Structure 1
Amino acid sequence: MKIAILSLDATLYSTRRLKDAGDKRGHQMRVINYMCCYLNITADKPMVMYQGKPLDDFDAIIPRIGASQTFYGTAIVRQFELMGVKSAIPNQGISRSRDKLRSLQILSGEGIGLPVTGFAYLTEDIDHLIEMVGGAPLVIKLLEGTQGIGVVLAETHQAAKSVIEAFRGLQANILVQEFIKEAGGMDIRCLVIDSKVVASIKRQGAEGEFRSNLHRGGTAEKIQLTSQERITAIRAAKAMGLPIAGVDMVRSHRGPLVLEVNSSPGLEGIEKATGVDVAGKIIEFLEKSAANDKKGTPRSGAVRDRIKY
């Protein structure tokens, strides 16, 4: 197969691992900076262009779309899908996962465990909003934040009011969320591929830090999941329409609670902590998926009909 990895930087760990894994399995791998692509949008032959040439000979793509480039990146993925190119991660799943509010609503609709979460526009009912999620301490999250950036722990009612008022004064969209004290600054990252959890780690926040993100100084080690945690991770990925996903959850007194579903999970932390060849499993999934698609290859019009926007 000829496979394009859509990534801003060919030197990133995850991008390198995917390329190496594909090379080892005999595929023609190429890293494409998707922000340098442009689109020829036409009814007859939609095309993705790159450096003046059409990218019309790929069998599949692996999107590694950065959070700040979601709008443009998903447009590129969608165009490849219109061309009949297999995407390891559908554009709709990426879009859903990047909208924290939408993703929580989708998960809630599927009955998947979540921390109690509030969302509001006006600040007149801040006191009730705080009470609704269980009072202080509580977590305040920017909808557009990533890697723990824009996540604040407000330890008192007054601190929560001040932070909410400050964010809303800047017209920032925020979520107000229950603080799961019993998690102790630890969360679980599950890597789901094709409705199976292939690797899982627990991430512990640094001393004095409630955020467990590795980018914030957290540590990672392999963890054994309970059957309920495994089922929750698989259900969350499926609900988001993501065949490949990183599902973050915490352990609580009422069972596993999903914090986020990531459509471009980093591979470095989980591969090094578990020893699992996650990149290789992604390539294997793409091979299997592409083979299944070939059994009933649709015409380009049929491909366009089945794409969700």
Structure 2
Amino acid sequence: MNIAILSRGGGLYSTKSLLRAGEARNHTMEVLDPDHCELLVENGTAILNYQGDMVDDLHAVIPRIGASNTYFGAALVRHFESMGVFTAVTADAIVKSRDKWTSFQILTQAGVAVPKTMLAHAINYEEQLRSFDGNPLIIKLLEGTHGHGVILAQTYQTALATVETLQTAGVKFLLQEFISESNGADIRAIVVDGVVVAAMKRQCKEGDFRSNLHRGGTSEVITLGYEEESLALRAAKALRLGVCGVDILQSSRGPLVLEVNSTPGLEGIETATGKNISKSIIGYLERNK
């Protein structure tokens, strides 16, 4: 097959890992930078040009769309879909999973357990904050990655000052319960084609509450229990993601899905687990094209 990775960073670990995995399976691999893609519809046909040349020979693409490029990235993936090219992650799934509130609505509708979360509303901030009974809470931007845009407010007054500042700046955000019993740890499970192919436990660095490896967290390989594995698979299915990372918190009432990432980084989890996740993704393309 002819397979393209949609990525701005040809030198990134995840991109290079996918390239190697595809080449090892004798596929023709290339990297397309979304910034150099031109989308066109003409005479009822979707046309895509890349650096002046028409792209019309691809069988599948693997989107690696960053949070800062969601709109155009999703439009690009949808363009490939209209051209009959198989995509590892659909445009609709990227958009829905990238918006944290939308994804929580979809997960809840599917019966997937998530932390108590509220869409902040300027008219009744104070009432919303009081509903957390004075406990620490998380203030989270609707779009963010690698732990950016996530604030832990230890007190009501801190939370109020923070939400007033965000509201003044015109930023949309969520209010979410802080799961203190997780002790700064979470589980990252990678789901490919309805199967958990790798999982690791991440622990935040001292003095932080975010377990992201990009924030200095540490990781260790784990085997998921039935509850965690079932939760990860149901989350992926609810958001219709063929490839994703599911972040799970351990709470006193059972595991909760914290976030579902349509473009999970591969370096940390491939290094921690020794699993070739990129090979699993290539296999997914082979089975569906």
TM range (shorter): over 0.9
The aligned counterpart of 1:47 is 47
SS of 1:246's equivalent? strand
Contact 1:130 1:136 in 2 (8 A): no
C-alpha separation between the residues in 2 aligned to 1:153 and 1:163? 10
Aligned-pair distance for 1:148? 0.7
Aligned-pair distance for 1:274? 0.4
Does residue 257 of the first structure (1) align with residue 240 of the second (2)? no
The aligned counterpart of 1:23 is 23
Query: Could you report, residue by residue, the CA deviation over 1:175-224 in whole angstroms, capped at 9, with x for unpaired residues?
Result: 00000010000011000011111100011000010010111110111112
C-alpha separation between the residues in 2 aligned to 1:178 and 1:223? 26
Query: Could you report, residue by residue, the CA deviation over 1:260-305 in whole angstroms, capped at 9, with x for unpaired residues?
Result: 1000000000000000000001001110111xxxxxxxxxxxxxxx
The aligned counterpart of 2:140 is 141
Aligned-pair distance for 1:157? 1.2
**Matches of residues 217-256 of structure 1 in structure 2 within 5 Å?**
217-256=216-255
How many pairs were matched up?
A: 289
Aligned-pair distance for 1:249? 1.1
C-alpha separation between the residues in 2 aligned to 1:51 and 1:210? 43
The AA in structure 2 aligned to 1:169 is T
Q: Percent identity?
A: 50
Q: TM-score, normalised by structure 2?
A: 0.98
Q: TM-score, normalised by structure 1?
A: 0.91
Unaligned runs of 5+ in 1: 291-309
Change (3 A) 1:85 1:224: same
Aligned-pair distance for 1:43? 4.3
Root mean square deviation of aligned Cα: 1.0
Contact 2:97 2:239 in 1 (8 A): yes
Consecutive aligned runs of 4 or more in structure 1 exceeding 4 Å deviation: none
Change (3 A) 1:71 1:256: same
The aligned counterpart of 1:156 is 155
The AA in structure 1 aligned to 2:61 is I
C-alpha separation between the residues in 2 aligned to 1:248 and 1:134? 26
The AA in structure 2 aligned to 1:63 is P
Query: Could you report, residue by residue, the CA deviation over 1:105-139 in whole angstroms, capped at 9, with x for unpaired residues?
Result: 111111111110111321x4223212334532000
C-alpha separation between the residues in 2 aligned to 1:84 and 1:195? 22
**Matches of residues 266-277 of structure 1 in structure 2 within 5 Å?**
266-277=265-276
Aligned-pair distance for 1:239? 0.6
Does residue 107 of the first structure (1) align with residue 104 of the second (2)? no
Contact 1:180 1:252 in 2 (8 A): yes
